[in-house]
Structures are given as structure tokens and as C-alpha cells.
């Protein structure tokens, strides 16, 4: 497989729009990542003939719900009420495949505000005791079982050509709440990372098992929130930071091992794409793979949303853990990135020069016609 482009979509971008699949095909992409299990979102549908906004009020599974698969599971997904039919993923996938596009199931694992609100003891809790209801903590066995069952059901029911795993690890402070109102606090990256450290019961037990003085860790994190310094290591001190990072990276590694291992068991040839970060403190959509991946993913995806300067740094850092896997760049084609085909083409070429073999474009359903034109021109100019 050479250089390859994949576009992200929601099921409602395709359902009810007879032109959607061909419009996406005409972009020059080789596949679509179609949301199969996704968090709440209020999404524009600028080219849809029937609606212009879809309000997905909670995390939902977009394949048919099998009650037997979820029997005796504490955490269970909800079905959507904002898109018609019992199988929105299947309906959209059928139209896309009819247009000649392979369909990957896009799964968001630990980002689920409905479940975090219902079961706050399974959500991330920061050093101050504040609960992040959008953020399920995979230190809990129940959360891991939820993620595994979610992935298995999507593959069994949806029969995708591949899967894209997002949030395959702990969520954190960012990428969070409805009507987010946190920017005015002017928190720097280190303060956000400290506020992303989880102190739920399961995490504090793990810290203690690794010989970490939990009370001392709490004190040090709390003391640094108003002036953290240049890194988490500087804020906590190198020995403590290394011990905590070991717990955190093991947590993400354990989740991806379980999810990917179970997917390989039922679908050995399935193409598995993993959103990943080389930063040991990374949380959210791009969970840390620092240390080692230790899971049979085919592709690692670097977050390049903020543009080529930061994107190239992410790519270079992820190279260390790449091994034989393909490397992809997650490229934002929406605001605040410009609607500029030349700039987008130059960005894609820069990533290709750094070793990237795939371009994952966000988001073909949210983009205006002018932005779709820019994506098409950039890919046809040689970026895809």
C-alpha cells in the first residue's frame, strides 16, 4: 500500500443524502472512517439535503444493540435517537461501499459522558476530587470490559474493513465538557497534564502497589497547579514522575492489549488503526504509547491538528515506537486551519517527507463545499 488517504464521517452524513457517498469518493480518498461508537457531539451537516445540524446528545453505538452481549455488564452503551433505523452504521457503510469505498469502524472508547455521569466512580477524578464525567478511567475492570465488548460488538455487527481506535487509554482534563468554559484559566500544558492525573480509587490503589506515596503525590501535584514549571518531571521530581508515568503508560498499554487482542482473536486479518502519542503524559483521543506499543496494531496515527510545525514534532516522537507499523497523520481540514488547497498540499507533503504513509482527513461531513474542494485539490496534487 502506497500513500493513502482516509476521510472521517458520521453515519448521518450519508443516511438520507443520495449524493454523499459519491461526493466523498470524488475527494480521492481510499477509505472512510465511519463513526460506529462515538461521544456526544453537535455537528453541522452543511451539504445534507434534509438537515443542517445533528445534535447527538450522548455517546452511542451505531450498530445493532445485542442485549445478550451486554448481559451482566455494568457499563452499557446507549442507542441513538437522532438518526433513523436500527443500524445507522450498516446503512451508511452500504452506501459508501456501493461507491467503492472500504469502510473502517471509528470507535471512541473511554470518552463517554453519559456513562461517567451515571457511574462517577468509574470516571477520572483529579487531585482536587473533581470528577470528569466525560472520561472513563481504564484502571477499573468494568471500564476495560466495556471497551472490549464495545469493540467486539462493532466488529461482529458492523463487519468493517478495519477499525480506528480513539481514546484507547485514560481521558484527561482536555477534550472534555459540553459548553466548555475552561480556556480563560490560561492553563499551560504542564498544568493540564497534572490535572489529568487520576486519583480515583482504582488509580490510587495502583500507585500504592507500585510503592508510590499517594498522599505525597497528592500534595506535590496540588502544590504545583498554580506554577507547574517546564515539565511534569520538574513539577514532581524525576523519581516520582518516573514511577507515576510507569503506572499511567501501563494503564493505556493494558487497555489496548485487551481490545486489540480480542479483535485479533475474532478477526485476525482486520486492519487496526490506533490513535497514539509518544508523550508519556498524553491522555484523551491520542493515548500514550510511550515505552512500547505491545499490541498488534497495523497503523499508528499522530495528531497533526495544530499544523505542520507541531505535527512534525509529533511524528518524529512517534517514530521511536513505530517499529514495523505504518505511520499516519491526522490532519484537520476545518477551522482554525485555513481553507487553502496549496497550504494543505504543502502540509501533506511535509508529513510524507517525515515518513508518514497515510493521511487521515478530519472531517468530510463537517466540511463546507469550499473545504471539500480544497481537500480534493490537495490530494490530487500528490498528497494522497
Copy the grid coordinates of residue 150. 464495545
135, pLDDT greater than 80: yes
pLDDT of residue 226: 84
The 10s digit of each residue's pLDDT in 324-341 is: 999 999 999 999 999 999
pLDDT of residue 383: 44
The 10s digit of each residue's pLDDT in 35-79 is: 999 999 999 999 999 999 999 999 999 999 999 999 999 999 999
Distance CA 219, CA 213 (A): 10
Q: Sorting pLDDT into bands at 50, 70 and 90, what band is 303? A: very high
The 10s digit of each residue's pLDDT in 217-266 is: 999 999 999 876 789 999 999 999 999 999 999 999 999 999 999 999 99
Per mean pLDDT, which range of 14-23, 133-142, 167-176, 327-336 is the poorest? 167-176
Q: Which residue has the cell 497514539?
A: 276
What phi and psi, each to the nearest 5 degrees, are found at residue 106?
Answer: -95, 115
Q: Are 33 and 104 in contact (CB under 8 A)?
A: yes
Distance CA 308, CA 287 (A): 20
301, pLDDT greater than 50: yes
pLDDT of residue 36: 98
In this prediction, what percent of the chain has a pLDDT beyond 70?
A: 95
What topology is assigned to 4-383 in CATH? TIM Barrel (3.20.20)
The 10s digit of each residue's pLDDT in 80-127 is: 999 989 999 999 999 999 999 999 999 999 999 999 999 999 999 999
pLDDT of residue 183: 67
Q: Catalogue the E-assigned strands of the chain.
A: 4-9, 31-38, 41-44, 53-56, 60-61, 103-108, 123-125, 131-136, 162-166, 271-277, 287-288, 299-303, 326-332, 358-362
Q: Which residue has the cell 499522530?
A: 302
Average pLDDT over residues 125-142: 96
Amino acid at each position: 500500500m502506497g500513500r493513502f488517504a482516509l476521510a472521517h464521517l458520521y453515519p448521518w452524513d450519508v443516511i438520507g443524502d443520495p449524493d454523499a457517498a459519491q461526493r466523498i469518493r470524488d475527494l480521492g480518498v481510499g477509505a472512510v472512517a465511519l463513526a460506529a461508537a462515538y461521544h456526544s457531539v453537535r455537528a453541522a451537516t452543511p451539504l445534507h439535503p434534509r438537515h443542517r445540524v445533528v445534535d447527538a446528545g450522548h455517546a452511542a453505538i451505531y450498530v445493532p444493540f445485542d442485549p445478550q452481549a451486554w448481559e451482566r455488564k455494568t457499563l452499557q452503551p446507549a442507542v441513538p435517537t437522532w438518526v433513523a433505523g436500527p443500524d445507522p452504521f450498516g446503512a451508511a457503510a452500504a452506501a459508501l461501499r456501493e461507491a467503492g469505498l472500504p469502510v473502517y469502524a471509528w470507535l471512541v472508547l473511554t470518552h463517554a459522558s453519559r456513562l461517567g455521569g451515571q457511574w462517577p466512580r468509574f470516571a477520572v477524578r483529579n487531585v482536587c476530587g473533581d470528577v470528569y464525567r466525560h472520561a472513563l478511567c481504564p484502571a477499573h475492570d468494568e471500564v476495560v470490559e466495556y471497551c472490549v465488548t464495545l469493540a467486539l460488538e462493532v466488529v461482529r455487527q458492523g463487519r468493517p474493513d478495519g477499525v480506528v481506535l480513539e481514546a484507547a487509554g485514560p481521558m484527561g482534563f482536555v477534550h472534555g465538557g459540553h459548553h466548555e468554559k475552561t480556556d480563560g484559566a490560561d492553563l499551560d500544558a504542564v498544568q493540564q497534564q497534572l490535572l489529568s492525573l487520576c486519583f480515583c480509587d482504582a488509580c490510587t490503589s495502583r500507585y500504592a502497589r507500585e510503592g508510590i506515596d499517594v498522599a505525597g503525590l497528592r500534595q506535590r501535584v496540588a502544590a504545583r497547579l498554580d506554577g507547574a514549571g517546564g515539565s511534569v518531571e520538574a513539577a514532581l521530581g524525576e523519581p516520582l514522575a518516573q514511577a507515576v508515568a510507569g503506572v499511567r503508560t501501563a494503564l493505556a498499554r493494558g487497555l489496548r492489549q485487551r481490545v486489540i487482542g480480542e479483535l485479533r482473536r475474532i478477526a485476525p486479518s482486520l486492519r487496526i488503526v490506533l490513535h497514539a502519542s509518544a508523550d508519556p503524559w498524553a491522555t484523551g483521543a491520542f493515548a500514550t504509547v510511550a515505552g512500547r506499543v505491545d499490541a498488534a496494531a497495523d497503523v499508528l496515527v499522530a495528531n497533526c491538528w495544530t499544523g505542520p510545525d507541531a505535527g512534525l514534532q509529533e511524528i518524529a516522537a512517534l517514530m521511536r515506537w513505530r517499529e514495523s507499523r505504518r505511520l499516519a497523520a491526522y490532519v484537520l481540514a476545518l477551522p482554525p486551519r485555513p481553507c487553502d488547497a496549496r497550504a494543505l498540499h504543502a502540509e501533506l507533503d511535509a508529513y510524507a517527507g517525515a515518513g508518514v504513509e497515510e493521511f487521515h482527513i478530519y472531517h468530510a461531513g463537517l466540511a463546507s463545499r469550499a473545504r471539500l474542494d480544497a481537500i480534493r485539490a490537495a490530494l490530487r496534487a500528490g498528497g494522497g
